[in-house]
Amino acid sequence: MEHVSCPRIYVETTLALIKPDAVHKSEEIEDIILKNGFAVLQRRTLLLTPEQCSDFYALHYGKLIFPRLTAYMSSGPIIALSLARDNAIAHWKSIIGPARATETHPECLRARYGTSELQNALHGSQSFHTAVREIKFMFPYTVIEHIHTREITHEYLNRHVNQTLMHGLNELCKRKPLNPCVWLADWLIKHNPNKPQICHGL
């Protein structure tokens, strides 16, 4: 039997920022984003105040770089992008590279477009929870649904769907009806394993 690969059903979102020093290269950067399989869900250009930058980078509060970071990020327009694809957070992080990227990762986007550890052109969320907070910060009216891992999704389908569905697909292939989608829908309703059983009195 020929193996048919299933489409990916696990989609993750992450926040990307094009920082003030790289905004003039935004068209080129966004083209790279699309070529790497990302969908741009939301995009906006904005100018943050120093106070907004302090809130966004609150996790860095108390570090020596914090005053320079907030001053730099409020020095000009930035572009915020909500990106989606399979394994989006890790993939975007690998593409932009580490903060100090010029020598260690010369092929990454920060080495290509950044000029220093501070002015490193791009930002990416570090984790799922960070991405949720950062996307909501930049796009306040966004609703982000909880995303299950690939393993949890497969376990759910295997437990509740796959056995019945495969049985129905096998019957469909045997019968080859004129309208296969309607036939399969009717078959699934009739053979639903969770359908209440009606017991008639003797």
At 35-61, the pLDDT tens digits run 999 999 999 999 999 999 999 998 888
As a whole number, the mean pLDDT across the chain is 85
**What local confidence, expressed as pLDDT, does residue 47 receive?**
96
Residue 4 included in any domain = no
Do 85 and 48 share a structural domain?
Answer: yes
**What local confidence, expressed as pLDDT, does residue 135 receive?**
94
**What local confidence, expressed as pLDDT, does residue 6 receive?**
46
**What local confidence, expressed as pLDDT, does residue 77 receive?**
96
Do 122 and 49 share a structural domain?
Answer: yes
78-85 vs 12-18, strand pairing mode? antiparallel
Instruction: Catalytic residue, from 60, 123, 160, 191: name it.
Output: 123
pLDDT digits (tens, 9 = 90+) for 135-167: 999 999 876 655 555 666 677 778 878 888 888
- Of 21, 130, 124, nearest in space to 78 by CA: 21
Do 36 and 93 share a structural domain?
Answer: yes
Do 166 and 93 share a structural domain?
Answer: no
- Of 160, 150, 107, 140, nearest in space to 12 by CA: 150
Residue 117 included in any domain = yes
Please give the Cα distance from 102 to 119 (Å, whole number).
12
Do 165 and 101 share a structural domain?
Answer: no
Domain enclosing residue 166, as ranges: 161-190
Do 166 and 108 share a structural domain?
Answer: no
Residue 109 included in any domain = yes
**What local confidence, expressed as pLDDT, does residue 4 receive?**
44
Residue 153 included in any domain = no
Do 117 and 173 share a structural domain?
Answer: no
Give the chain's domain count. Answer: 2
Do 186 and 118 share a structural domain?
Answer: no
Residue 7 included in any domain = no
The yes-or-no answer on residue 148 being catalytic is no
Query: DSSP assignment, residue 116?
Result: S
Q: How far apart are the first and last CA of the chain?
A: 46
Do 143 and 109 share a structural domain?
Answer: yes
DSSP-derived 3-state class of residue 85: strand
CA atoms within a 13 Å half-sphere pointing along the CA-CB vector of 183 = 13
Do 28 and 115 share a structural domain?
Answer: yes
Do 124 and 32 share a structural domain?
Answer: yes
Please identify which residue in the block is written with the tokens 């690998």.
94
Do 174 and 143 share a structural domain?
Answer: no
Gyration radius (Cα) of the chain, Å? 24
Q: What is the pTM of this model?
A: 0.67
- Of 52, 43, 53, 37, nearest in space to 15 by CA: 43
**Res. 121 pLDDT band, cuts 50 70 90:** very high
